[in-house]
């Protein structure tokens, strides 16, 4: 941590700050310049809140030298984390894992059918929403617990792990019972109460980036889960909000290599939500794999035109099968497999 002092600060003031800092157990090293004096703080500065100096009239600004996340940081954990999703599915290893399924679970039969179809095409995980966070209170809100039950059925019948989105800490028991991977949606990435509860679960957490959150904030939210005890976190880029309106969100493709470099956690991409349109899913899926993603989560619906939510971005099982046939050789070119 570096303190930049105000111009014209006295030697005495500088010494006083150094003395003050030494009480935090760090070593304070002043550098006297012609115009500016700075103090370099060396040692464990984690106990010093960066805002401690905010109203200190002697200090111009404070600069952090180190990243604020530890457990998610590749520096302290150089090897890739591999998350065991159950049913033999390992996330973050040499295989690229594709999760697919409907935006909303609509019936036991529907999700079972789709699960079987996507599995035949090579998907390893079935996805489906039971608790739906919708911008409008007048839109379909999901089948809730019943939907989770259908998800579990679909997973068991097809021997696949299932992933579904949680929206409230009170649902955790239900999710512990019914799903293999718990998804945190974009609107809940900074629902810290929820993250802390998920830290007590042993289930893998698919943590989606908030649509207006930075990469560092995503890693800080992973840190919430990990510091509460659950190390099985999968990060997921799903598009951010920008001024551009031609697509629903702007897929931040650079986030994939940046996250892989900063963290040891697996990185997924959700091309369906980033694009908002089915025809964009193919080019964005290819781009994600080319950029190094460990997996994709793709919306597939047997009848997109009559889907209860997000039909416009869903592929049919046939389209999904065609996509998978294109992604497989691409994965191999990248030294991996699907």
Per rule CB under 8 A, count of chain residues that contact a copy of itself? 104
Residues 310/298, Cβ–Cβ less than 8 Å: no
Which of 160, 155, 150 has its CA nearest to residue 129?
150
Site for a copy of itself, residues 270 to 289, rule: CB under 8 A:
274-275, 278-280, 283-284, 286-289
- What is the CB neighbour count within 10 angstroms for residue 144? 15
Phi/psi of residue 196, nearest 5 degrees: -65, -40
51 contacts a copy of itself (rule: CB under 8 A): yes
Question: Among 79, 136, 173, 202, which residue interacts with a copy of itself (rule: CB under 8 A)?
Answer: 136
Torsion region of 214: left, alpha or beta (phi above 0 gives left; psi -120 to 50 gives alpha): beta
Q: Which residues pair with 205 in a beta bridge?
A: 182, 233
* Minimum distance, C-beta of residue 3 to a copy of itself, in the bound complex (Å): 11
Which of 142, 123, 125, 118 has its CA nearest to residue 234?
125
Compute CA distances 297 → 97, 118, 179, 204, whole Å: 9, 12, 16, 15
322 contacts a copy of itself (rule: CB under 8 A): no
Site for a copy of itself, residues 183 to 222, rule: CB under 8 A:
187-188, 190-194, 196, 210-212, 214-217, 220
CB nearer a copy of itself, residue 155 or residue 185: 185
Residues 75/65, Cβ–Cβ less than 8 Å: no
> Which of the stretches 42-50, 93-101, 149-157, 175-183 binds a copy of itself when contact is defined by CB under 8 A?
42-50
CB nearer a copy of itself, residue 200 or residue 241: 241
296 contacts a copy of itself (rule: CB under 8 A): no
Element (H, E) at 259: helix 255-262
**Rounded CA separation 24/247 (Å):** 49
79 contacts a copy of itself (rule: CB under 8 A): no
Question: Among 167, 231, 263, 302, which residue interacts with a copy of itself (rule: CB under 8 A)?
Answer: 167
> Which of the stretches 15-23, 34-42, 86-94, 146-154 binds a copy of itself when contact is defined by CB under 8 A?
34-42
* Minimum distance, C-beta of residue 262 to a copy of itself, in the bound complex (Å): 8
* Minimum distance, C-beta of residue 135 to a copy of itself, in the bound complex (Å): 5
97 in helix, strand or coil? strand
227 contacts a copy of itself (rule: CB under 8 A): yes
* Minimum distance, C-beta of residue 81 to a copy of itself, in the bound complex (Å): 18
25 contacts a copy of itself (rule: CB under 8 A): no
Q: CB under 8 Å to 272, separation ≥6 — which residues?
A: 103, 281, 297, 298, 299, 310, 313, 314
Total residues found in the chain within this entry: 338
> Which of the stretches 94-102, 107-115, 119-127, 163-171 binds a copy of itself when contact is defined by CB under 8 A?
163-171
Q: Which residues pair with 240 in a beta bridge?
A: 250
CB nearer a copy of itself, residue 153 or residue 312: 312
């Amino acid at each position: 941590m570096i303190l930049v002092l105000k111009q014209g600060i006295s030697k005495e003031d500088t010494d006083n700050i150094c003395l003050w800092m030494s009480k935090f157990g760090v070593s304070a090293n002043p550098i006297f310049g012609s115009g500016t004096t700075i103090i370099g703080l060396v040692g464990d500065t984690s106990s010093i809140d960066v805002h401690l100096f905010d109203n200190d009239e002697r200090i111009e600004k404070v600069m952090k030298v180190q990243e604020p996340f530890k457990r998610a940081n590749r520096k302290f954990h150089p090897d890739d984390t591999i998350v065991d999703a159950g049913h033999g599915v390992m996330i973050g290893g040499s295989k690229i894992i594709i999760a697919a399924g409907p935006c909303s679970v609509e019936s036991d039969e529907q999700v079972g059918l789709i699960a079987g179809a996507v599995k035949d095409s090579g998907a390893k995980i079935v996805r489906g929403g039971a608790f739906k966070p919708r911008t409008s209170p007048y839109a379909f809100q999901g089948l809730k617990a019943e939907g989770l039950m259908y998800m579990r059925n679909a997973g068991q019948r097809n021997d696949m792990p299932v992933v579904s989105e949680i929206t409230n800490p009170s649902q955790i028991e239900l999710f512990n019972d019914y799903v293999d991977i718990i998804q945190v949606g974009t609107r809940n990435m900074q629902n810290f109460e929820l993250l802390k509860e998920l830290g007590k679960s042993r289930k893998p957490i698919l943590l989606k980036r908030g649509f207006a959150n930075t990469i560092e904030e995503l890693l800080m939210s992973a840190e919430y889960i990990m510091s509460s005890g659950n190390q099985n976190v999968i990060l997921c880029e799903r598009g951010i909000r920008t001024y551009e309106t031609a697509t629903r969100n702007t897929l931040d493709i650079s986030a994939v290599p940046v996250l892989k470099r900063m963290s040891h956690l697996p990185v997924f991409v959700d091309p369906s939500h980033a694009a908002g349109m089915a025809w964009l899913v193919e080019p964005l899926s290819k781009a994600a794999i080319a950029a190094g993603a460990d997996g994709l989560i793709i919306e597939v619906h047997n009848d997109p035109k009559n889907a209860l939510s997000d039909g416009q971005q869903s592929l049919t099982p046939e389209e999904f099968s065609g996509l998978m046939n294109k992604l497989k050789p691409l994965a191999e070119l990248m030294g991996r497999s699907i």
